[in-house]
Amino acid sequence: MWEFNHCIKAYNRKQNAAERERVATAWQTGAFAGAAFNGKLRKLNNYLKDKESVKAPKVSKEKFEAAAKAAERRRHGGT
């Protein structure tokens, strides 16, 4: 029976590591979009905490739209 429990624990550790990797990848993807949030993204450790939910940074719709338009202009070479 202890062998089975050992296998279950190893599987759970592997799943936890895979979940952390998915969160890190998602955070890195969000970091590329971070310019639109004007530096409002938090550090990766904030999103890797063991708690169930994490609140997103608050950004007004107007500020987001303005930052998105500015990023789009920069992307196309405008100022």
Report pLDDT digits (tens) over 10-49. 899 999 999 999 988 888 777 766 645 655 666 667 666 6
Cα dist from 8 to 4, 17, 21, whole Å: 6, 14, 20
pTM above threshold 0.75: no
Burial 17-44 (b: 16+ CB within 10 A, else e): eeeeeeeeeebeeeeeeeebbeeebeee
- pLDDT at residue 68 is higher than 80: yes
- pLDDT at residue 55 is higher than 60: yes
